[in-house]
Amino acid sequence: MEKREMIYLDNAATSFPKPYAVSDAVKKYMLYCGGNAGRGGYESAIQAGRLVYECREKLSEFFGAKSAEAVFFTMNTTQSINACIRGSLKKGDRVLISNIEHNAVYRPIYKLSSKGQIDYDTFSVIENGVAVSQEEIIADIEKKVTKNTTMIVCTAASNICSVRTPIREIGELCRSRGIRFVVDAAQAAGHFPLSVEDMKIDALCVPAHKGLLGPQGCGAVLLGEGVKMQTVCEGGNGVDSLSGEMSEDPPERYEAGTLPLPAIAGFGEGIEVVKEIGLERIEAHEAALFKRAREELLNIGGVKIFCPESEGSVILFEIEGKGSEEVAAELAKAGICVRGGYHCAALAHKAMGTEESGAVRASFGIFNKESDVDALCDAVRKISK
């Protein structure tokens, strides 16, 4: 196939292109500020501290947390999830996770279980390649909750397809049972509304670099009111420096070492861009691209779409007789960026029935156009022949 200008359809991995406001914010911090937040009384350090606090405020407002102090920064969503899991669980605890979790949830839970520290089980969001109803999800959770269940961890939206979990309903169930609720919002933040307080979430884990349009290298946790965890990383944070203990109060309690300040500068601007565009518009635009792709792909012989009824920013498909990574490589030759394989989601692919060969994922963002979808489908049509 003839190579053409790059068409980026891998926004579930990281969004691209980044808005100019984001790259400008990173550049301005590095050129004109450069101070280290909480480590000095000179002007650039004060500016850095102000930048960090302003980003906390933007996040707490955007995601419905009680205050800026409920927000602490991490390197990415994976680190956020690990901090919440390892900082909350104790020996003998039981955890429920969904059967579509990314390895960011599955692997730390699996390791703790394999060492005999905790017990875990999964509840079904997809069964035999079909999305189950909200009522069935809640019923399955209720059936599997025991007196030792102290935590439920689940994704708000799958990273391999557009299936979502009923976060509000799970949050209400957890709150009524005294179970801590940790949400992986890697594929949800910046795509559709989430609220820590309204949805009764105890810890919401978000990345800067996906739907929030910021740089890589930064994530955040937004804690529910009164939620406190053990620290999993200790070091300097500019607070109580003479003590051998980490400070008791969030957010600094969970932030050891220098923060990724250039990324935080871009993070804050990414949130502003998303607010300016509007979540409703973003969600509708991505769903429209999904529907267009679904309609065209379903008319190509040998192409199968997984969970086609779940509309959103991610579409998963395969071409009969061709491996997923082979198809992704062929699309790359045509200048189309997608991802084949297993997408770091062993549980989800098992639930989908694609654990043997994986599948091809195309993921849309606000900057994609209908012509991008048409180019994808034209290329798939040629590959399928």
The candidate with the shortest Cα–Cα distance to 312, out of 292, 347, 337, 286, is: 286
Question: Encoding tokens for residue 195?
Answer: 């609220």
Each residue's pLDDT tens digit, 295-319: 999 999 999 999 999 999 999 999 9
How far apart CA 184 and CA 80 sit, in angstroms, is 9
Chain mean position to CA 377: 27
Asked whether residue 223 carries a pLDDT value surpassing 50, the answer given is yes
Q: How confident is the model at residue 3 (pLDDT cuts 50, 70, 90)?
A: very low
Give me the residue label for tokens 């994704």.
155
CATH number of 23-277: 3.40.640.10
Question: In the chain, where are the structural domains located?
Answer: 7-18+278-384, 23-277
Each residue's pLDDT tens digit, 138-164: 999 999 999 999 999 999 999 999 999
Which helix (DSSP H) or strand (DSSP E) does residue 82 occupy?
helix 77-86
How far apart CA 341 and CA 244 sit, in angstroms, is 46
Taken as a whole, the chain contains a residue count of: 385
Each residue's pLDDT tens digit, 243-253: 888 888 889 89
CATH number of 7-18+278-384: 3.90.1150.10
